[in-house]
Amino acid sequence: MGAGAADRARRARRPVGLAGGGVPAHREHRRHGTGGDTVSTTTTTAPAPADTAPTTAARGRVWALARGELTLLARNKAALAYALVLPGLLTYSMKTAVKGVDLKGTGLDLGTMLLPGSIGMALVLAVYMNLVGVYVIRREDLVLKRLRAGELTDSEILSGAALPAVLLGLAQCVLLVVGVGLALDVSAPEAPYLAVVGIAVGVGQMVMLAAATAAFTRTSESAQLTPVPMMMISMVGSGLFVPLEVMPDQVASVCELLPLTPVVDLVRAGWTGDMSAVDALGTLATALAWTVLAWWAVRKRFPWEPRR
């Protein structure tokens, strides 16, 4: 009995973590007190942080798809030049045409009239018209069908395909702000946050409208025609180059409800600073309503396989 008790005492005094010590390596026992009293304190490791792998994986899938689309866009020199050069050319050509517009009482000058309009044209040409063709061609080539068979979700497929066009549109907006601002001596924006909100909402709206238009476009050849009505209506009625303030009241009240009109109004108000908070919220609501309507149409009608 005495020998067994001595052996157990020696094993208890062995360093923590050694074989026979009787205590796992990840715990620490402390003994205090006098006599036979023993106080044991055990420390445990902190819980592991929440797993962020699904979010990281989704982001990686979107970026991988976007890189592929960006490579294809860079190879298409005609589409790239069309998206980058045409908005600036239209702005320059419209400069002479709109000089005769009477802007008295509108609070606008040539610069604050043309700059928001040129940004609107960049969104239409670089994002909307470009994406209609992308979605239709990828669908006709069965690319969208194959992507859906993998891990990508529908929103990831549409977002990844749209990202290069979105970046192209934003780059075009920056170039137009600098170029038109210097050419027409446009002052700094009075409410830049309105301009930023307008561009951001406009980008999202153009992506959704492009997907909705692609849903009703049968072939890649017809994809060159189906976006034209949206472009023409926006040029004439959304205040791109002719502000709504100089239109008849009844015509202006109808044009205020067009998809791109609230976007142009927000961007223009960013430079003039003459839009109240209530008007800004109403304008934003109109833009978001078109975006939600287009999103609903995409969910209900977008075909992921070639239309027969």
Read off the pLDDT of each residue in 92-111 and give the average, rounded to a whole number.
Answer: 74
How far, in Å, CA of 138 to CA of 220, rounded? 9
What are the C-alpha distances in Å from 78 to residues 82, 141, 172?
6, 20, 16
Would you say residue 51 has pLDDT above 70?
Answer: no
Beta-strand runs (E) in the chain: none
Give the per-residue pLDDT at 32.
45
Please give the full DSSP string across 219-246, using - where no structure is assigned.
STTGGGTTTHHHHHHHHHHSSSSS-GGG
Tell me whether residue 57 is exposed, middle or buried, using C-beta atoms within 10 angstroms of its C-beta: 0 to 12, 13 to 18, 19 or more.
Answer: exposed
Average pLDDT of the segment spanning 2-28: 47
Average pLDDT, the chain: 82
- DSSP letter for each residue of 168-214: HHHHHHHHHHHHHHHHTTPPPPSSHHHHHHHHHHHHHHHHHHHHHHH
How confident is the model at residue 28, as a pLDDT? 45
Whole-prediction pTM:
0.78
Q: How many CB atoms lie within 10 A of CB 92?
A: 14
Average pLDDT score over residue span 165-171: 92
